[in-house]
């Protein structure tokens, strides 16, 4: 669950000058094909260019995708609050979208949606007030968040990534390469793995990858620095993903120096936010009409904190925001309607500088429901209802 992503230049700290926000590795190629994730099945179903339909063939309106960015424990809380507001204001169930691109904290939410956990169920569990018929979600939020990371191990996290950066400096951004110099973290993401395993079992998806909505879980190959999209890139000869959903989510959440890399088939992977905080650009060539980007580490409207630590955090947010806005511009240029929601000053005051502090998670979630509602209403101008609904809005810049 990353607290960063697109690169922030030191020159950005005192002012508002532009920085290079392209902290992405070599972009993963994305094809307009989704595969059926049922073990043993070899059916490959291409994304239809026409309107999406339910299983019974009923039209479900515009083809939609969600992009859920990274942001630690509090970023996840903010995502749940923002999703709650989105469902009310835009008038659709988040589980009915076609694709969900999830990075770090956003990967956890993407997996939950793919396993048919509703936003309301996530919200109630997060608030500690689950309904009697809610699915059990075995997760203690305090277990993966704390003031500071555990003392890391010794040695370089990925000498191979560092050496590759020296030999081929243009292959991956400098800041991504430098994560190879960080020591190996000693935190544990076992609670996340157990939670995803539990909700997958509850949805009857043990050993299978969800297909509606289909989660694309973003991580980074810790040897090459390449961005990897689990649920799309890592598939076997029969088109079925050859990585489990829990392993993919843990890989996407493995913050360098906080948690150890997730090894899948002997290969190390780290937090997807090391390459791109939200990876919205993955959808440029996808046949979807509407893209909803919820980015807890971006901020269109920043406050002006006095704390030096908070000011550094805001400078990182500025850089991440510019990178995400660049992705939004690409999506718009491809003909898609794009809505971008990010924390505002009221959210930032609650979030503070440590996104891994679980003590504020309920307050952050509830505030996000309020502030995201206001932001969504400002963007969803002329909202109509029905299968052919279209929006006439532009996110603020």
State pLDDT tens for residues 60-80. 579 999 999 999 999 999 999
pLDDT digits (tens, 9 = 90+) for 237-275: 555 568 999 999 999 999 999 999 999 988 999 999 999
Task: Give residue 261's pLDDT.
Answer: 96
The mean pLDDT value for 265-288 works out to 95
Rounded Cα distance between 183 and 259, Å, is 10
* φ, ψ of residue 308 in degrees (nearest 5): -60, -40
Q: CA of 97: how far to CAs of 55, 100, 127, 214, 382, in Å?
A: 13, 7, 25, 8, 21
Task: Give residue 385's pLDDT.
Answer: 38
Rounded Cα distance between 326 and 289, Å, is 18
pLDDT digits (tens, 9 = 90+) for 318-358: 999 999 999 999 999 999 999 999 999 999 999 988 898 88
Helix (H) or strand (E) holding 218: strand 214-221
DSSP codes joined into one string, 177-214: HHGGGSPPP----HHHHHHHHHHHHHTT-TT----TTE
DSSP codes joined into one string, 233-302: TSB-TTS-BSS-HHHHHHHHH--TTTSPPEEETTEEEEEGGGT-SS-GGGGTTS--SEEEEE-TT--SS-
**pTM of the predicted model, to two decimals?**
0.80
CA 31 to chain centre: 20
């Amino acid at each position: 669950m990353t607290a960063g992503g697109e690169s922030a230049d030191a020159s950005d700290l005192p002012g508002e000058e532009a920085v290079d926000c392209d902290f992405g590795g070599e972009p993963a190629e994305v094809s307009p094909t989704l595969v059926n994730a049922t073990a043993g099945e070899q059916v490959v179903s291409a994304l239809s260019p026409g309107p999406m339909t339910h299983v019974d063939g009923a039209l479900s309106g515009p083809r939609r995708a969600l992009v859920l960015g990274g942001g630690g424990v509090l970023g996840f809380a903010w995502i749940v609050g923002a999703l709650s507001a989105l469902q009310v204001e835009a008038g659709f169930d988040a589980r009915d979208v076609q694709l969900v691109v999830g990075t770090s904290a956003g990967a956890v939410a993407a997996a939950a949606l793919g396993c048919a956990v509703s936003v309301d169920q996530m919200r109630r569990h997060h608030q500690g007030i689950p309904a009697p018929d809610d699915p059990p979600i075995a997760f203690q939020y305090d277990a993966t968040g704390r003031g500071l990371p555990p003392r890391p191990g010794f040695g370089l996290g990925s000498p191979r990534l560092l050496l590759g950066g020296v030999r081929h400096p243009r292959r991956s951004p400098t800041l991504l390469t430098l994560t190879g110099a960080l020591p190996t973290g000693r935190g544990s993401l076992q609670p996340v793995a157990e939670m995803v395993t539990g909700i997958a079992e509850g949805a009857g998806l043990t050993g299978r990858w969800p297909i509606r909505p289909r989660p694309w879980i973003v991580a980074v190959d810790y040897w090459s620095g390449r961005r990897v999209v689990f649920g799309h890139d890592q598939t076997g000869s029969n088109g079925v993903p050859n990585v489990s959903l829990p392993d993919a989510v843990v890989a996407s959440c493995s913050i360098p120096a906080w948690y150890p890399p997730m090894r899948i088939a002997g290969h190390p992977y780290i937090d997807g936010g090391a390459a791109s905080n939200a990876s919205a650009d993955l959808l440029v060539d996808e046949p979807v009409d509407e893209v909803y980007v919820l980015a807890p580490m971006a901020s269109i409207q920043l406050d002006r904190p006095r704390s030096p630590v908070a000011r550094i955090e805001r400078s990182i947010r500025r850089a991440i925001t510019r990178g995400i806005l660049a992705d939004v511009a690409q999506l718009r240029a491809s003909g898609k309607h794009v809505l971008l929601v990010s924390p505002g000053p009221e959210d930032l005051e609650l979030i503070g500088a440590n996104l891994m502090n679980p003590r504020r998670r309920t307050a952050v979630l509830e505030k996000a429901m309020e502030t995201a509602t206001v932001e969504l209403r400002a963007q969803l101008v002329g909202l109509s209802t029905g299968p052919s609904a279209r929006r006439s809005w532009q996110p603020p810049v």
